[in-house]
Amino acid sequence: MHVKILDERVVERAKRRGIDVLVYAPHFTRWTTIRKRAERFSDDDLLVVPARELFTGDWRNRRHVLALDLQRGIPDFLTLDGAMNELAKQDAVVCVPHPGFLTISLEREHIREYREHVDAIEVYNPKHLARDNRRARALASEFDLPGFTSSYAHLSGTIGECWTAFDRDIDTAADLHAALRDGMPRTATHRDGLGHLKRRAIEIAHIGYENTWKKLDRVYLSGTEPTHPDHVAYGGAFDDSSVY
């Protein structure tokens, strides 16, 4: 938990690194597309579980929420309250990725407000600095939330750098959903050494690309996002909580 990319190279690397399950949660991709792609790349040796990292708020006030076990699609660019209410209606699994990180994450006050809906909090992310991971662990402890780690891989070389090991077999998406909902014991860990430091540095550098050219292309050049609440796919169902 969780990766942004999924192709043959990702699958091959995950298997080589001994990963059994990948949670696939790309940005700005509709739920039906994520589900179909996850199914396509799953096989007897690797289970790919679909998820959505929801982009709530607008470009100036962003909060990310990682959701699994959705019953129907949820667009981006909703108010945080609107997104969390919809997740509660669907009884989705709700996780907090990269808490308190930059300007894109849930802060302490948000976790406190929605604590009853949150199933887990990320305690290690390769894009974090050491102080970010310390803060994440402190928040998990403060709110008595189970932790997890993710590669947060935007690049295939980061697959398998971090993983969460549960004390039960995870053979299906439902198994993972249940383990997260039930707070089952798990160990969140990551690789060490110079190789891991290099992968972290490359992923951190990738933030610059995401927040410059890629953001410019997304905001000004690419037109309406597939996950924009105004998109015909959502039939106006989220107009009341849309920020755009």
Task: Average the pLDDT over each of 25-34, 57-66, 193-202, 221-230 and give the range with the smallest value.
Answer: 221-230
Is the pLDDT at 217 greater than 60, yes or no? no
pLDDT, residue 220, reads 45
Rounded Cα–Cα distance for residues 123 and 116 (Å): 19
pLDDT, residue 211, reads 57
Task: Average the pLDDT over each of 35-44, 111-120, 201-210, 217-226 and give the range with the smallest value.
Answer: 217-226
Is the pLDDT at 206 greater than 90, yes or no? no
Q: What does the pLDDT look like over 21-67, one tens digit per residue?
A: 999 999 999 999 999 999 999 999 999 999 999 999 988 888 999 99
pLDDT, residue 208, reads 65
Q: State the CATH architecture for 8-241.
A: Alpha-Beta Barrel (3.20)
- Do 1 and 23 form a contact (C-beta atoms < 8 A)? yes
DSSP state of 156: G
Is the pLDDT at 104 greater than 70, yes or no? yes
Rounded Cα–Cα distance for residues 139 and 11 (Å): 32
Please give the C-alpha separations between residue 225 and each of 24, 36, 68, 229, in angstroms, as whole numbers: 19, 19, 21, 9
pLDDT, residue 209, reads 62
The two structure tokens encoding residue 225: 């996002």
Q: What is the dihedral of CA 78, 84, 90, 93, to 10 degrees?
A: 120
Helices (H), the chain: 8-16, 31-41, 80-89, 108-113, 130-142, 173-181, 193-210, 213-216
High-pLDDT (> 90) share of the chain, %: 80
pLDDT, residue 221, reads 45
- Do 158 and 126 form a contact (C-beta atoms < 8 A)? yes
Across the chain, what does the average pLDDT equal? 92
For 128, what's the count of Cα atoms within 13 Å in the CB-facing half-sphere? 24
Q: Which residues contact 178 (CB under 8 A, 6 or more apart)?
A: 184
Q: What does the pLDDT look like over 124-142, one tens digit per residue?
A: 999 888 999 999 999 999 9
Is the pLDDT at 223 greater than 60, yes or no? no
pLDDT, residue 120, reads 98
- Do 34 and 51 form a contact (C-beta atoms < 8 A)? yes
The two structure tokens encoding residue 157: 């070389």
Q: Regarding beta strands 93-96 and 63-68, do their DSSP bridges make them parallel or antiparallel, or are they unpaired?
A: antiparallel
pLDDT, residue 193, reads 95
Rounded Cα–Cα distance for residues 32 and 37 (Å): 9
